[in-house]
């Protein structure tokens, strides 16, 4: 009974840890809440005019709490600069005229123009906001308001950075999940191509279209997740401990990106040159080469699926037996193409291109680095 309870507790704890690791938004929410509450506590000790605007400290803390330490520092700096620029615009306009419709239009126009400064990034929108707030809310004591707005935002940002540095995120698990999703999608695409080629006659154009998978959105999401994981290593005290895993993950992502382009290439070759709309002499493979091509595609898909979802390092090469089967299937296809070329005297350029692309696909599956291009 005690042993079973301990096992259930370990499973529950392990599941909680995995969920927390795969969803960095949970950790981000906890850190933002902690940083905001600390900033609110600290701002109560601030004297002078700035004390009249305590809410800007937790605002700065939230702004500075990002998914990476480097991102937190960058966003905090950009936001404080944007607020300072907006405040400067408002002070300049306020010195010339009392707030009215015309001055509001001027500060907003100038703020929107300055927001386009590339150095401010996504924080550019704060320029117009800060200018408007300073002009209207801080009209009675503009310098005190600016000190409270920019100064307390900076104070809160410093607290947010301190919290992020104390609990630095290293989102390897989300990136790993995206890599697994991309692998599964590429395997599904190869399997759908194989199923189409196993038909007695080649599918029509619209039937091939139904077998096409949207790879680009998943590829973009994977690229973003891996880039975020790579950025999180900068200034991260945990990065050294996981340096090898992070580097291997990055290399595996490069291999999958190469594989995604190769799968798209072979998909287009099959879709364009093995379709019911073509004349028999225009079909690239025909009834003789379609079965071994389908077998090779399915074998590479199986090799992809043999890679564990949490594979790191040497584990990303897939199951050796499944990979060996895929290699045999591709070389058998190459032998069929050679014999068909000899028997018919045809060029079989497209079939040869399919063989070359499948060899490169297999190389991308086997090796964690970029696909080999020697074939």
374 is a domain residue: no
Q: 354 and 270 in contact (C-beta within 8 Å)?
A: yes
Q: What is the pLDDT along the chain (375 residues), one digit of tens a residue?
A: 444 454 444 444 444 444 544 566 777 788 889 999 999 999 988 887 777 888 889 989 988 887 677 777 888 888 889 999 998 998 888 777 777 788 889 888 999 999 989 889 888 889 998 888 888 887 777 788 888 888 899 999 999 888 887 777 666 677 778 888 899 999 999 999 999 989 888 888 888 888 889 998 998 888 887 777 666 666 566 656 666 676 777 788 888 888 999 999 988 888 888 887 776 666 777 788 889 999 999 999 999 888 865 555 445 567 888 988 999 999 999 998 898 888 877 778 888 898 999 998 888 776 443 334 333
Whether 37 and 78 share a structural domain: yes
What pLDDT is recorded for position 169?
A: 64
Judged by phi (left if over 0) then psi (alpha if -120 to 50, else beta), residue 99 lies in: beta
The last residue of one of the domains, among 112, 133, 166, is 166
Name the domain count of the chain. Answer: 2
289 is a domain residue: yes
With tokens 């594989």, the residue in question is: 259
- The CA distance from 59 to 43, in Å, is 12
Whether 159 and 192 share a structural domain: no
Whether 150 and 181 share a structural domain: no
Whether 85 and 184 share a structural domain: no
Whether 250 and 334 share a structural domain: yes
Whether 146 and 245 share a structural domain: no
Whether 159 and 176 share a structural domain: no
375 is a domain residue: no
- The CA distance from 290 to 203, in Å, is 12
What pLDDT is recorded for position 93?
A: 85
Whether 130 and 198 share a structural domain: no
Whether 161 and 214 share a structural domain: no
154 is a domain residue: yes
The last residue of one of the domains, among 117, 140, 166, is 166
Q: 99 and 198 in contact (C-beta within 8 Å)?
A: no
Burial class (CB in 10 A: 0-12, 13-18, 19+), 195: middle
Whether 160 and 80 share a structural domain: yes
Whether 98 and 239 share a structural domain: no
Whether 228 and 128 share a structural domain: no
Q: What is the DSSP-derived secondary structure letter of residue 124?
A: G
Q: Tell me if the pTM is above 0.85.
A: no
The last residue of one of the domains, among 148, 166, 184, is 166
373 is a domain residue: no
Q: 332 and 292 in contact (C-beta within 8 Å)?
A: yes
With tokens 């905090």, the residue in question is: 76
Tokens of 4: 């079973």
372 is a domain residue: no
348 is a domain residue: yes
CATH number of the domain that residue 292 is part of:
1.20.58
371 is a domain residue: no
Q: Which domain holds residue 278?
A: 172-366
What pLDDT is recorded for position 22?
A: 55
* 4-10 LR contacts (CB < 8 Å, sep 24+): none
Nearest 5°: the CA angle 210, 211, 213 is 105
């Amino acid at each position: 009974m005690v042993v079973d309870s301990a096992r259930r507790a370990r499973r529950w704890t392990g599941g909680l840890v995995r969920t927390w690791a795969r969803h960095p938004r949970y950790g981000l929410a906890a850190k933002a809440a902690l940083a905001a509450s600390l900033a609110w506590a600290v701002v109560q000790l601030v004297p002078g005019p700035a004390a009249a605007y305590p809410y800007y400290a937790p605002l700065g803390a939230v702004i500075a709490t990002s998914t990476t330490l480097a991102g937190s520092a960058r966003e905090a700096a950009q936001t404080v600069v944007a607020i300072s620029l907006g405040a400067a615009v408002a002070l300049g306009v306020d010195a010339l005229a009392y707030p009215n419709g015309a001055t509001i239009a001027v500060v907003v126009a100038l703020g929107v123009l300055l927001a386009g400064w590339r150095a401010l990034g996504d924080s550019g929108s704060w320029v117009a906001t800060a200018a408007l707030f300073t002009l209207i809310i801080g009209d009675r004591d503009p310098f005190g308001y600016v000190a409270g707005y920019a100064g307390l935002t900076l104070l809160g940002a410093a607290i947010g950075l301190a919290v992020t540095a104390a609990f630095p995120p290293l989102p390897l698990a989300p990136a790993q999940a995206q890599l697994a999703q991309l692998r599964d999608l590429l395997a599904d695409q190869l399997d759908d191509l194989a199923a189409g080629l196993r038909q007695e006659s080649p599918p029509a154009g619209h039937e091939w279209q139904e077998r096409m998978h949207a790879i680009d959105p998943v590829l973009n999401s994977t690229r973003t997740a891996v880039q975020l994981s790579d950025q999180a290593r900068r200034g991260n005290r945990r990065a050294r401990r996981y340096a090898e895993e992070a580097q291997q993950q990055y290399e595996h992502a490069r291999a999958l990106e190469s594989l995604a382009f190769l799968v798209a290439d072979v998909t287009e070759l099959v879709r364009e040159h093995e379709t019911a709309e073509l004349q028999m002499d225009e079909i690239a493979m025909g009834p003789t080469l379609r079965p071994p091509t389908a077998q090779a595609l399915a074998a590479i898909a199986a090799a992809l699926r043999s890679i564990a979802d949490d594979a790191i390092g040497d584990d990303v090469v897939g199951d050796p037996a499944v990979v060996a089967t895929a290699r045999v299937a591709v070389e058998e296809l190459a032998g069929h193409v050679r014999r068909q070329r000899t028997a018919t005297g045809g060029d079989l350029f497209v079939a040869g291109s399919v063989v070359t692309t499948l060899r490169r696909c297999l190389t991308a599956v086997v090796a964690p680095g970029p696909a080999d291009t020697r074939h």
